[in-house]
Each structure stands twice: as structure tokens, then as C-alpha cells.
Structure 1
Amino acid sequence: MNNHEIDFNLYGDDMQFVEVELDPQETVIAEAGSLMMMDSDIRMETIFGDGSEQQGSGLMGKLLGAGKRVISGESLFMTTFTNQGSGKKHVAFAAPYPGKIIPMDLSEFEGKLICQKDSFLAAAKGVSVGVEYQKKIGAGFFGGEGFIMQKLEGDGMSFVHAGGTMHKKVLEPGETLKVDTGCLVAMTGSVDYNIEYIGGVKTALFGGEGLFFATLRGPGTVWIQSLPFSRLASKVFAAAPQKGGDKGEGSIAGGLYDLLGGK
């Protein structure tokens, strides 16, 4: 075991958070802005990249690891949380929007997991958070995630966030699953990922499902989310008042606000 061994508990249903228990000198890494709370003996430190040994110990190794994160659209920095006390301490990380936090033991998936950008939440120190390039041009241009997805490598525990409800499906060799490109959360390295044209001009233009969907071919395991953040954001944007509408616009409260002269 090269990664720190951490214990954890999940709390909540639709707006979850994960509480990680750290023994003395154990460390967990997390994306900036995901911290919810921590005990007083936890030391927080900002570092280049993810701090894994796979990046190399020299300056160039650290710059290379941090540079890969910039390419994938992430920050140059990550945050580590280390237990500097004498007993067990706790640190908690919250989900960024409604959904589920999925604990992933990388040792159960041959040490590698590929996931969509922004789904990584936290992991035991030693897990490498890198990038995975899509070798197929179709998957790169039309996959909804571009040429680059996140790659988690190691043998420790990591936590991935999915929007809405999460569904785990094990694909047999040769078995194919077609999903909306935004609904794919993660997959094991053995899954073959490609993009397929939805077919039919009428369906493509008026079906409301886009022009392409992802095809996932086994063997391997995939995780699917019911509510991609892009879909949630588009619904919120469509319902928001346009051009600086009045307070309470479109509601009974808004009408009362107008009758009272906006006071």
C-alpha cells in the first residue's frame, strides 16, 4: 500500500458530505474549495499538483504534474490536510451540488479510474490526479468532455461526486451501453469509450438529446449520473429573470411587491 490508508463516513442523502478520519501524520488531498470543516490539529497546506510521488521529487516533476492539471481545466494547486495531533482527527468535504459522493478504492480497479472533469472531490495522499487523453478524434470533439478527462491512479481511497442519482453498471466483454455524453461519471481503464452519431435528421434536430451519445464497451465498470451539472445549470439559467428583472418576478410575491410601490 503506497497511499495513506484512511477511514471515512458519508452523511446526508442528496446534499452529502464525507468525513475522513486521519491517524497521526496521515494526509488527505482535496480540490480547492471543497472543505466543509476540520478539527483543530489538522494542518492545511496548498501544494503544486497532487503531491504524489509519481510526479517526481524535483521541481520539473512538480511543474509537469501541475501543468497537466491546467490542461484539464483544473487549478495549479491542490490542498492537503494532515493530522498533526496525537490522536484520530477528522476533516470533512462537501459535495458542490445535489448528488452522491462515490467512494472508490482504486486497488479494486487495477489502480486506475477515468472520470469526467470536476468530478474528483478528495483522495488519500499518494493517489495521482492526472489527465487522460482521448485518442479517438470523434470522442475528443463530441464527447462532451473534450480530449481530456481526469485520471486517478494509485491503490488508495478516492471520492468522486455525481449529480442526482448514481447508477453503477458492470459491462461484460463485448457488452455495449449507450449513454448521454454528460451522464458519464467514471469508468475503469478497460472500458472502450467512443462517440456515435445519434442518426436521423429529425431525431438529431428535434429530439432534444443532442447529436451524439457515448458508447461504452466492456469489459469493465461504469458509473452513470442522472443529473449532469450542465443540465442543472441550463435549467437554472432558463428560469432566471432575464435583463435584470424585478424582485420576485413571475410570482405572487412579485405582484404584491409592485402593488406596494416596490417598498
Structure 2
Amino acid sequence: MPSSHEIDYKIYGDDMQFVEIELDPQESVIAEAGGMMYMENGIEMQTIFGDASGKEAGGLMGKLLGAGKRVLTGESLFMTVFTNEGKGKQHVSFGAPYPGKIIPVDLTQYQGKIICQKDAFLCAAKGVSVGLEFQKKIGVGFFGGEGFIMQKLEGDGLAFLHAGGTIVEKELAYGESLRVDTGCLVGFTKDVSYDVQFVGGVKTAFFGGEGLFFATVSGPGKVWIQSLPFSRMADRVFEASRKAGGGQSKDEGSVLDTLGGIGKFFSGD
């Protein structure tokens, strides 16, 4: 008998998707604060301290510990529970925060656990636990950048992830590995091993444009990869806004400074 609520769903849209959850009476879905798009009259919402799974051990101290872990992942201290308090089926919907795809994941198909980027979680059936996945290797913690803080989703219900751009699913065999930009790594199943490595080579690291580190994932298991991390899109928007406002980009400034220095050298200044 599953401990998570058995919810039904339908995903709408193409590049700006939302998921509509159908709840029977007394069924619930959990979500991060601010993700709700609309809900029908019979749906009641309640803010919960912690991960809203109801599985924290140790009473208040357990809830405080769970909330503290959520702060480390950059999430809110609180989650919201949406419950159907009506007599018939009711619906509540959650919208994606930026262009991309919503990935439905049935945790029963992945041994009850998947690991994902800290901002990938959208919503899940009540009973699914949302926690912090600690990495054992020190290199992952210090050099992983946007990819080193990972969440774990545990339980036997449905969970929904959101990722930017186009989503690629890779099934890795035992011993097979893949190197991924840390921001492009959305999530992976529990048996996949994960590490962060230096790209190698001074010129590649500083002038290659791909960052100093990449993630290495090794099978067996499934890996989800996104083509457009939000951080990458935000960087482009910020850079474009600076140019539109008459500002000088970092790359432009460094090139002009270099050319100016060369000119002064030849002119004898």
C-alpha cells in the first residue's frame, strides 16, 4: 500500500508548460511556495514548516533540521499543501517558472529515490519527501558551482521536475560515464555516481567559455539533462540589458583594455 497520495495529472503546453493535478477527496499535493497557477473551489491550501511530507523524525527538532536543510538548498523554509476538501474531483495547477519542460517522475519506478538540482522540484504527491542530498567527495562540495547542492526526492508517489529548454534522457550502462556542464545536469537515479572535475588546461579553463568544472555521471541509471539552465539564460539577459543601457560588457571591456595597452606600448607611453 503506497504511503504517498495517488494523484492523476495532465501536462499542458509546449515550451511554457503547466501541470494540472486531479485530486480525489482528501488527496493532497505539495509544492514550493509561489508555484501555484490556479485551483478550483474545493481545494484548500495550508503552509507547512519543513518539507510537508510528514516524515520528519524527532518532533519540532526534526522539523527544524528539515527546514535548515531546505535553506541550504536555497529554498523557502515553508512548503504549501493543497488538499481537496470537497466531495468530488478537484483540480489545482502549477506553472513552470521559465521556458522549458515539466518532467513527471514515478518514484516507484526508480527504487523510491531520485536526485535533482536544487531548483528543479515543482510539485509532488503528498508523502514524497524533499530533502538535501549530501555529497561525500569534497571536490563536489567546493567546486560544483550551481550543480553541487542537490535535492533528493524519496517516496512512492509522483513528483514533477522542471528544466529549461529541451530535455534529454540518457540511460547509462554499468561503467558508462558522461561529462555534463554542472548547470545542465537536472537529475539522476539513485545508483548513478556523481563527481565534479576540473576541465584541465589553463587555456581551456579560462578561454573556452564552458566554465572551470564539469560534472561526471557514471552508470548504471538514468540521467536527465537540460539544454538551457536558468542561470545561463539569466546571464544572457543581464548582458543584453547592460548593452541596451549603454554599458560595456566584461568581454568587451577586457578586449578594449588589452588593445589600448598594446597601442600605448607601440606609441611609447
**TM-score, normalised by the number of residues in structure 1:** 0.90
3-state SS, counterpart of residue 133 of structure 2: strand
Poorly superposed stretches of 4+, deviation over 3 Å: 241-245
Give 1:123 deviation, angstroms: 0.2
- Larger deviation, residues 11-20 vs 48-57: 48-57
Instruction: Describe how 1:1-263 pairs up with structure 2 within 5 A.
Output: 1-56=2-57, 58-145=59-146, 147-241=148-242
Cα deviation for residue 57 of structure 1 reads 6.9
Offset of residue 242 of structure 1: 5.9
Partner of 1:259: none
Q: Is the 8 A contact 1:166 1:224 kept in 2?
A: yes
CA distance in 2, matches of 1:202, 1:62: 47
Report what 1:249 is aligned to: none
For the residue of structure 1 that corresponds to 2:55, the secondary structure is helix
Contact map agreement 1:6 1:124 (CA 8 A) in 2: yes
Stretch deviating more after TM superposition (86-95 or 45-54): 45-54
Whichever residue aligns with residue 180 of structure 2, its letter is: V
Residue 255 of structure 1 aligns with which residue? none
> Offset of 1:51 from its aligned partner?
2.1
Report the CA distance between 1:147 and its aligned residue.
4.7
Specify the code of the residue in structure 1 equivalent to 2:32: E
Q: CA deviation at 1:144?
A: 2.1
Mapped to 2, the partners of 1:148 and 1:24 lie a distance apart of: 36
Distance 2:229 2:215 in 1: 14
More helix by share: 2
Amino acid at match of 2:129: S
Alignment partner of 1:73: what SS?
A: coil
Q: Is the 8 A contact 2:52 2:80 kept in 1?
A: no
Which digits, 9 at most, give the CA deviation of each residue in 1:76-132, with x for residues without a partner? Answer: 100010000000000000000000000010111101111011110000000000000
CA–CA separation in structure 2 for the residues paired with 1:124 and 1:94: 16
Q: Which moved more, 1:82-91 or 1:206-215?
A: 206-215
In structure 1, runs of 5+ residues without a counterpart are 246-263
Aligned equivalents of 1:54, 1:89: Cα separation in 2? 26
Indicate if the aligned counterparts of 1:140 and 1:146 stay in contact, CA closer than 8 A: no
1:133 and 1:147 in contact (8 A); partners too: no
Counterpart-to-counterpart distance in 1, 2:84 and 2:143? 43
SS in 1 for 2:146: coil
Aligned-partner residue type, residue 126 of structure 2 = K
Gaps of 5+ in 2: 247-269
Q: CA deviation at 1:232?
A: 0.2
Structure 2 CA distance, aligned partners of 1:60 and 1:210?
40
CA RMSD of aligned residues (A): 1.6
CA–CA separation in structure 1 for the residues paired with 2:120 and 2:220: 23
Report the CA distance between 1:150 and its aligned residue.
Answer: 0.7
Percent of counterpart pairs with the same letter?
70
Deviation of 1:50 (Å): 2.1
